Amino acid sequence: MATALLIIAALVDLALAALLVAVSGFVVGGGPQGMNANGLAAAAYWAAVVVCIGAAAAGFILNRKGKTVAALVLAWVPPAGALIATLLPGPY
């Protein structure tokens, strides 16, 4: 059961990373639809992509070492953070 939850979490993490990469042009791009993000915002955005991919990998590593609960918590942190971020009001 825990392995299935870990696999689902990894799939959600990778889908979230793919979504972030897909919309990155609208956030850090310089086009007419881009937000023209500054360097710090762009770095934070790409750090979120790395965290999504790293959380999935770290979850499997922790699970292999026998720390299943920590693996599940770590793997589900990016989706939970994305859910919280979507519930926050916009900055406008």
Tell me the residue length of the chain.
Answer: 92
Q: What is the pLDDT of residue 34?
A: 65
Indicate the pLDDT class of residue 15, thresholds 50, 70 and 90.
very high
- On whether the pTM is more than 0.85, the answer is no
CA 13, CA 7: separation in Å to the nearest integer? 10
Indicate the pLDDT class of residue 33, thresholds 50, 70 and 90.
low
Which has the higher per-residue pLDDT, 55 or 24?
Answer: 55
| Token digits of residue 13 | 């993490």
- Structural domain spans, the chain: 2-86
Q: 74 pLDDT exceeds 90? A: yes
Q: Within 13 A of 23's CA, how many CA atoms are on the CB side?
A: 10
The DSSP output letter for 90 is P
